[in-house]
Amino acid sequence: MHVVDGEIKYVETDNTGNDDYDGLHQVRACLRGRSMRRRVYNPDRLKYPMKRVGARGEGKFERISWDEAYDIIATNMQRLIKEYGNESIYLNYGTGTLGGTLTRSWPPGKTLVARLMNCCGGYLNHYGDYSSAQIAAGLNYTYGGWADGNSPSDIENSKLVVLFGNNPGENPHERGRCNVLS
């Protein structure tokens, strides 16, 4: 990111390497990552805490102070833990804002929120991750295990490649492999 006087001016992607797939190909940032500046400066982005004042789904909120927000969160967390135990608190680490200030998505057990919850007696953690849980399950049925199969660079020897749920324009990890096919 290029920042001038505290403001993001633009996001520059990786300009090293080339598009040849040799295991060290250029991995450009995806379109979502390159548009991060628009997310940060979006006029609809919430920049302060809001409290619901109407019925759920009614869309009525009022601005509250950070101190009031922290008090509401602490009071409700203490109530939930007392009534239902620490398992009633679940930390979702993949929320679309990877690298958030409080969550720092990875590794999940080392985030500030996870450390806070451990000081309160623990929390319910996830199993696997949102990115590879389905892959781990599927590989057992297709290859017989997690680490089986060909090297990604072997794609150039393929006569047919079928991609499920893959958009090479969005997923920079696949772009180098797909370039080999053209």
Domain range list for the chain = 2-43+150-181, 50-84, 86-145
CB 23, CB 153: distance < 8 Å: yes
Task: Give the C-alpha separation, 1 to 7, whole Å.
Answer: 10
Of the candidates 36, 16, 34, the residue with the CA atom closest to the CA atom of residue 26: 16
What per-residue string of b and e applies to 144-159 under the rule 16 or more CB within 10 Å gives b? eeeeeeeeeeebeeee
% of the chain at pLDDT higher than 90:
24
**Block residue for tokens 């009071």:** 75
What is the pLDDT at residue 58?
Answer: 95
CA distance 178 to 174: 6
Secondary structure (3-state) at 30: coil
Residues 153/130, Cβ–Cβ less than 8 Å:
no
Condensed to tens digits (0 to 9), the pLDDT of residues 58-83 reads: 999 999 999 999 999 999 999 999 99
Q: Is the pTM of this model over 0.75?
A: no
Instruction: Tell me if 161 sits within 8 A of 181, measured CB to CB.
Output: yes
Q: Which residues, 6 or more positions from 123, have their beta carbon under 8 angstroms from its beta carbon?
A: 86, 87, 89, 90, 91, 114, 117
Q: Output the pLDDT for position 138.
A: 74
Q: Which range, of 23-37, 70-84, 161-175, averages the lowest pLDDT?
A: 161-175
Under the banding of pLDDT at 50, 70 and 90, the label for residue 98 is very low
The per-residue b/e assignment along 8-18, b for 16 or more CB within 10 angstroms, e otherwise, is eeeeeeeeeee
